[in-house]
Amino acid sequence: MSFLRIAVFSALFGFTQPVAAAPVPEEALCVGSFGVGALSDGRCLPLEGKKRRIAPEDLGAALSDGVVDLKLVSKTAGEGVDLAPLAGAKAVHTLLIDAKGPVDLAPLAGMTGLRRLELKGEAALALGQIGTPMPGLAELTIKAPLQSVDLAALAQMPHLRKLTLRAARLANVDGMAGLARLEQARFHLNETTDFAALSGSKRLKKLEISGSMGQGAVADLSFAAALPELTHLVLAGNEIEDLGPLSGLSGLTYLSLSDNDTLADLTPLAGLTGLVNLHLAETAVADVTALAGLFALRRLDLSHSAVRDISPLDGLALKFLGLKGTGVE
């Protein structure tokens, strides 16, 4: 078992004086476009660090020097990743593990400084091994697009703020029920899933649930009615018919429902007066009367939809109106 590539981001300057990475208190974490970072003068900034490459035999020494970010990647089929040197490594903030063979995630339990974790390949399938609380973890990315991922371990990560998940399907989705601090979540799945467990994530602001490989990821949106802080919602590539649960989401400014060929009724959107961007391409929508009062709307995409009459939109100050493939000029 060996590492084919190890990249380390260290907090050292000149690598002559060891500097321990300062712990970031949970309340000082924030979510930016780059992921989870730390608050500084009211701004959300990336966790600090510099990059260097090390040999596997130098990993232990590098950890004692105050490593911040670490990538462990194997590229040969059957080749695993040995995490034993990471046991008790409290200075590591970010860890990416991409394994083509066996991996034991047990050493993660002692990495109390870990804020971001990304698991790919066999490492993603090993997520279920995590049975010890990881209260400091704020961002989790799982990439296993052709396989099933067990989410039971999410119950051990109550302070997650950002979750990204690509998988064929999910098991034990109830593991999401305790993610009360979640602010951003992205799901790309090949199988329709019940997202009722997300209804407890009241702080969610950005949510994407997209189908993949021609298969929808969600059909029932009932859970969304319990997410009052949502401003950005992407539900592309699904099999959605009923938008009723979205009717009370008055904070929405961005909504994508493209590639839902079962969607026709827009009536529940009539009260979403804060919408600025609305995407309805490749849907069965023919009647846009419900959009007539959405005066904040600036971008509307109806490309390849069933719409033929756009006169209800005459009172809107649209900057972009997509009508390709509709026959409407």
DSSP readout, 173-215? GGGGGG-TT--EEEEEESS----GGGGG-TT--EEEEEEBTTB
The pTM assigned to this predicted structure is: 0.84
Q: In the chain, pLDDT over 70 holds for what percent of residues? A: 80
| Cβ proximity of 91 and 115 under 8 Å | no
229 is written with which tokens?
Answer: 């802080």
Whole-angstrom CA distances from 74 to 111, 118, 161 are: 21, 14, 28
Between CA 190 and CA 238 the distance in angstroms is: 10
Residue at token pair 């600025």: 276
Residue at token pair 């949510």: 207
327 is written with which tokens?
Answer: 């026959």
| Cβ proximity of 49 and 68 under 8 Å | yes
221 is written with which tokens?
Answer: 């949106």
pLDDT in tens, 180-215: 999 999 999 999 999 999 999 999 999 999 998 889
Q: How confident is the model at residue 313 (pLDDT cuts 50, 70, 90)?
A: very high
Residue 72's closest CA among 64, 80, 60, 62?
80
- 103 three-state secondary structure: strand
pLDDT in tens, 59-114: 666 565 555 778 887 778 888 888 887 887 787 888 999 888 989 999 898 888 89
Contacts of 228 (CB under 8 A, 6+ apart): 202, 248, 249, 251
Average pLDDT over residues 111-124: 92
283 is written with which tokens?
Answer: 């849907």
Average pLDDT over residues 116-124: 94
